[in-house]
Amino acid sequence: MRRVALLLVLTVAPGGCKTRPAAPDARPLGNGKLRISSDPSGAAVIEEGERIGRTPLTIERRAMSRPALELVKEGYRTERVRRLVEDGRTVRVHVPMRPEVGTLIVRSGIVRGAKILVDGVERGNTPRKVDVSAGRPHVVEVRRFGFTPFRATVTVSAGETRDLDAEIVPEGKRRGPSGWLTVRSDLPATVMIDGSPFGSTPLERVPLLARRYRLTLSNPALKVQKTLKVRIPQGKTREINVKLRQ
């Protein structure tokens, strides 16, 4: 019996046998930094209920984390920040702080359409609701051509709504004694004072010269109207409750 030898031939590429190197172990994550700034600066930075500093502030945290931060400053809304920390890098985080606001309801008596300026900036015409930064004084001016201008310094608290009654009179006319008029009705109604439209009920403490006026309340949808005469007492508020429901 003839034996058959099997010859195994290995072909080796020039340069010898090459083996693929083993993949290196993944490098463990390190730390990264957050550089926190705000406008305005000086906001307290709160993390997990504890103040850790004021802006501008740089903090170092574990990479791939998202620290929950709050920025707090008096007169401004609390701003919340969550930003990813990148390994070995400094990430800049800039936060514009939004002021806390209050509201002024600016009226100018029976004269409508007078220009409102707050700190020199036009904010519409009377009557109008105007939001302003809370906790600091604002110069409010009310102007209309041919009338004496009104100017006052007003401060409102956060969330407060305040009436501002600007009394303006025609130039050259003496400003007489004044009082206020409040008008309420059992049905929604538009209000006219001496023939001039003045908004809808309820009207609260409208400044008027101390004299007699013709007051008309109407609701065209319900086809109801009522006219009456009222006298505004000097230095006092006249309250009128009008029954329109028939």
Asked, as a colleague might, if the bond just before 149 is cis with ω within 30 of 0, I would say no
- The answer to whether residue 193 scores a pLDDT higher than 80 is yes
Instruction: Name the residue ranges covered by the structural domains of the chain.
Output: 31-96, 101-165, 178-242
User: How far is Cα 206 from Cα 187, in angstroms, rounded to an integer?
Assistant: 20
Predicted local confidence at residue 62, as pLDDT: 94
Phi/psi at 72 (5° precision): -125, 130
**Stretch among 36-45, 59-68, 131-140 having the lowest mean pLDDT:** 131-140
Which CATH number does the domain 178-242 belong to among 2.40.50, 3.30.160, 1.10.3470, 2.60.40?
Answer: 2.60.40
pLDDT one-digit tens code per residue, 39-65: 999 999 999 999 999 999 999 999 999
**CA distances to 201, 229, 245 from 61, in Å:** 58, 73, 68
- Tokens at residue 203, please? 């009207």
Predicted local confidence at residue 83, as pLDDT: 93
Predicted local confidence at residue 78, as pLDDT: 92
67-91: average pLDDT: 92
CATH superfamily ID and name for 31-96: Carboxypeptidase-like, regulatory domain (2.60.40.1120)
**Stretch among 103-117, 182-196, 199-213 having the lowest mean pLDDT:** 199-213
Query: Smallest Cα–Cα separation from 57: which of 85, 35, 83?
Result: 35
Classified as helix, coil or strand, 153 is strand
User: How far is Cα 181 from Cα 137, in angstroms, rounded to an integer?
Assistant: 27
Q: Do domains 31-96 and 101-165 have the same CATH topology?
A: yes
CA angle 190, 156, 132 (to 5 degrees): 75
Which CATH number does the domain 101-165 belong to among 2.30.110.10, 2.60.40.10, 3.30.70.340, 3.40.50.300?
Answer: 2.60.40.10
The mean predicted confidence, pLDDT, of the chain is 85
User: How far is Cα 238 from Cα 246, in angstroms, rounded to an integer?
Assistant: 24
pTM comes to: 0.52
Query: Smallest Cα–Cα separation from 155: which of 137, 182, 180, 130?
Result: 137
Asked, as a colleague might, if the bond just before 21 is cis with ω within 30 of 0, I would say no
Binning pLDDT at 50, 70 and 90, where does residue 28 land?
confident
78-104: average pLDDT: 93
- Tokens at residue 133, please? 């930064």
